[in-house]
Structure 1
Amino acid sequence: MATELKEAIVMAKQERHKNLFLNYRNLYNFPVELLKDEGLQFLERLYMKRNSLTTLPDNLAQKLPNLIELYLHSNNIVIIPEAIGNLARLQSLDLSNNALQFLCPEVGRLRSLRHLRLSNNQLKSLPPEIGDLHELETLDVSMNQLMSLPERLHRCVSLQNLTADHNPLSHVPRQLCWLHRLNQLSMAANRLTFLPLDLGRSRELQFVFVDNNADLKGLPSYLYNKVIGCSGCGVSTQALEGELGEPLGEVLVGLPAEVKVVGTQTDSVVPLEELALRTLHRIYQHGPTDLSLLPPITLPKSLLDLLQFPMGHCHRCSQAMFTIIYPKLFPLRDTALAGVHRRTTVSFVAYCCSSHCLQTFDLQG
């Protein structure tokens, strides 16, 4: 096997191969033949799945500088060296089914990366630098131990497919609603209690799969005309409660922490804090793009973040909302691929900015 491997690599060097297949070779170490002399300067695609590799060499980018695709599916890789960030042309990186516990921040230097697959590892967090991957189209982090997703993920402006199934995620960052190219979001088998109010507001988002999130009782009505998978949602018998520990009446849905007040049809005036934030938001939207150029005021960081990324927008008039919502429930309807079964008790929820919008909103209007 060693002789056959060496011959394959020598031939690849001599004939300037662009593709090299080293799958199922029972490799425990990265082949030194790949790194001798000048390396394989012409190699673009390296396939090394189903081996027993535990790490990668630090000089990988130096010896294989033109790699576009690197497939390391099903190895025993525990750590990726920081030098991985030097693979300037890399577009596809598959590290699925390994033993990764940590992903180095230098991954964020792979500015050409379009597909990153990290499923079935032991990752407990993702580096914020992932947000620097502006060309990233596919991200698969399913079957890990992630407690949260980086808020900076919204900077991956090209992201189209995000899969985070089978993690202990409790929420979806509302910043992800700003991913205007996102077409498919899959977060099945997590611990979600609510979804961002604006989720589905983008026309590009067409597929949302949140099956088997037992405490998820409400879907934003922006998802009404999307393809939704929500089997096994809303099956928990424990009613969710509001911020102050008081039941939300018939609205048994989880709400973001920023929600301070749940309005009713009889409210006629929203709180002063909400009015102030709406006013500042309008100044920010139509004024300077830099928050530091706004009028000199002092606000907690949480409120400054809200100014840039509102909690949601009214489903009736698109007014930005920050601290108060007026929810309205509608029965869930079957969608093309939803496969909703009888254990699912989740509903659509419209979130409005005022009692007037609440009263006049019709899901099918």
Structure 2
Amino acid sequence: MMEGSGSSTKDADPDNLAQKLPNLIELYLHSNNIVIIPEAIGNLVRLQSLDLSNNALQLLCPEIGRLRSLRHLRLSNNQLKCLPPDIGDLHELETLDVSMNQLISLPDRLHRCLSLQNLTADHNLLSHIPRQLCWLHRLNQLSMAANRLTFLPLDLGRSRELQFVFVDNNGDLKGLPSYLYNKVIGCSGCAVSSRVSQGERGEAAGEALSEALVGLPAEVKVVGSETDNVVPLEELAMRTLHRIYHHHPTELNLLPPITLPKSLLDLLQFPLGHCHRCSQAMFTIIYPKLFPLRDTALAGVHRRTTVSFVAYCCSSHCLRTFDLQG
């Protein structure tokens, strides 16, 4: 372990550290006005905890991805505008704190951090959360407060492990996926409605629900409705390919070569969402349904708040038969 402060830590050379302390497990370099982390940081291959918070970092070198034993990475209160995709190589990472930076996006490859349990990205400039993060099946707490979120991934909360979601102070966030219905949620300061009468609820659950009411991912090309029973051919084809890929992967060898645009290949691997009624994967079309508002208990110290939930179904039939209480 190395606890540092002042110029002695600021001028520390990771190359020398790797030579002198090859078994270094914890390295604390917080509050040192550090601007650059040298590439040699990647030589500390046994490192499990790295604290670089409260510095002046503007970039994080890709070599950070070589720290394959890293379990805790703290980067809060810096000047980072992006994270290197190589962070996805940290397969043992359990805690990632990038709050109080200037991030406008999170790397898609973050979903490869399969051990991640706690992700904190409060006080940044994030407009969306990559849907790939829904595949982090060990993620227990996600905090994205004080950003610019307009919607959340349709599958967010589908994993049983995710229990705490904090999206407070995202002024344009108007609804939450119904998979979060029984989770601990913080959403004070968001645009979710807090006063909806009983009569308005029934109407809102039907034709009043639209993209104008609830923010939807830009990838959704068609928003289904109660009267629309025709699923686009593109959607049917994607569902069929996905079913073959996930349930009968050996059959792909019997098919002629399939050439798809990268965007569709990405969708095949990470669907836009799964139907809240039957778990059917969805790719280009959803049928949204607004549910009555309910009180959601926050994490003890906050006041209770009232939020609206939205179910996303794959067909009008699922939409009609879906019951959030069931």
Q: Does the alignment reach a TM-score above 0.5?
A: yes
Q: Secondary structure at the match of 1:58?
A: helix
Task: Establish whether residue 182 from structure 1 lines up as the match of residue 139 from structure 2.
Answer: yes
Structure 1 residues 291 and 112 mapped into 2: Cα distance closer, same or farther (>3 Å)?
Answer: farther
Q: Secondary structure at the match of 2:88?
A: helix
Deviation at 1:56, TM superposition (A): 3.8
Instruction: Find 1:159's aligned residue among 98, 116, 123.
Output: 116
Instruction: Find 1:140's aligned residue among 83, 91, 97.
Output: 97
- In structure 1, C-alpha distance between the alignment counterparts of 2:253 and 2:83, rounded to whole Å: 29
Structure 1 residues 347 and 106 mapped into 2: Cα distance closer, same or farther (>3 Å)?
Answer: same
Deviation at 1:265, TM superposition (A): 1.1
Task: Establish whether residue 354 from structure 1 lines up as the match of residue 315 from structure 2.
Answer: yes
Q: Secondary structure at the match of 2:267?
A: helix
Structure 1 residues 291 and 154 mapped into 2: Cα distance closer, same or farther (>3 Å)?
Answer: farther
- In structure 1, C-alpha distance between the alignment counterparts of 2:40 and 2:94, rounded to whole Å: 23
Structure 1 residues 249 and 300 mapped into 2: Cα distance closer, same or farther (>3 Å)?
Answer: farther
- Give the RMSD, CA atoms, in angstroms: 2.1
- In structure 2, C-alpha distance between the alignment counterparts of 1:58 and 1:291, rounded to whole Å: 48
Equivalence map 1:39-78=2 (5 Å):
53=10, 56-78=13-35
- In structure 1, C-alpha distance between the alignment counterparts of 2:72 and 2:252, rounded to whole Å: 33
Deviation at 1:340, TM superposition (A): 6.0
- Give 5+ residue unaligned stretches, structure 1: 1-18, 31-52, 237-247
Structure 1 residues 69 and 274 mapped into 2: Cα distance closer, same or farther (>3 Å)?
Answer: same
Instruction: Find 1:229's aligned residue among 169, 186, 189.
Output: 186
Compare CA radii of gyration and give the structure with the larger one.
1
Equivalence map 1:82-121=2 (5 Å):
82-121=39-78
Deviation at 1:288, TM superposition (A): 3.0
How big is each residue's C-alpha offset from its partner over 1:130-184, in whole Å with a ceiling of 9 and x where there is no partner? 0000000000000000010000000000000000000000000000000000000
The letter for the 2-side match of 1:73 is H
Aligned residues with identical type, % of pairs? 86
Partner of residue 148, structure 2: 191
Instruction: Find 1:173's aligned residue among 127, 130, 134.
Output: 130
Contact 2:4–2:29 under 8 Å retained in 1 = no
Contact 2:30–2:51 under 8 Å retained in 1 = yes
The letter for the 1-side match of 2:140 is N
Structure 1 residues 335 and 56 mapped into 2: Cα distance closer, same or farther (>3 Å)?
Answer: farther
Contact 1:54–1:78 under 8 Å retained in 2 = no
Higher normalized contact order (CA 8 Å, seq sep 6+, divided by chain length): 2
Task: Establish whether residue 203 from structure 1 lines up as the match of residue 182 from structure 2.
Answer: no
- In structure 2, C-alpha distance between the alignment counterparts of 1:97 and 1:332, rounded to whole Å: 39
Task: Establish whether residue 300 from structure 1 lines up as the match of residue 261 from structure 2.
Answer: yes
Instruction: Find 2:239's aligned residue among 269, 273, 278.
Output: 278
The letter for the 1-side match of 2:222 is V
Instruction: Find 1:312's aligned residue among 240, 264, 273.
Output: 273
- In structure 1, C-alpha distance between the alignment counterparts of 2:2 and 2:175, rounded to whole Å: 49
- In structure 1, C-alpha distance between the alignment counterparts of 2:248 and 2:274, rounded to whole Å: 19
Deviates more, 1:331-340 or 1:277-286: 331-340
The letter for the 2-side match of 1:28 is S
Partner of residue 85, structure 2: 128
How big is each residue's C-alpha offset from its partner over 1:231-276, in whole Å with a ceiling of 9 and x where there is no partner? 011169xxxxxxxxxxx94331111121011111122221111001
Deviates more, 1:329-338 or 1:289-298: 289-298
Structure 1 residues 229 and 361 mapped into 2: Cα distance closer, same or farther (>3 Å)?
Answer: same
Deviates more, 1:348-357 or 1:287-296: 287-296
Contact 1:325–1:351 under 8 Å retained in 2 = yes
Q: What's the TM-score once normalised by structure 1's chain length?
A: 0.80
Partner of residue 334, structure 1: 295
- In structure 1, C-alpha distance between the alignment counterparts of 2:309 and 2:2, rounded to whole Å: 50
Q: Secondary structure at the match of 2:50?
A: strand
Deviates more, 1:56-65 or 1:217-226: 56-65
- In structure 1, C-alpha distance between the alignment counterparts of 2:3 and 2:40, rounded to whole Å: 23
Deviation at 1:295, TM superposition (A): 3.8
Partner of residue 28, structure 1: 7
- In structure 2, C-alpha distance between the alignment counterparts of 1:209 and 1:63, rounded to whole Å: 42
Contact 2:173–2:190 under 8 Å retained in 1 = yes
- In structure 2, C-alpha distance between the alignment counterparts of 1:218 and 1:101, rounded to whole Å: 33
How big is each residue's C-alpha offset from its partner over 1:195-247, in whole Å with a ceiling of 9 and x where there is no partner? 000000000000000000000001000000000000011169xxxxxxxxxxx
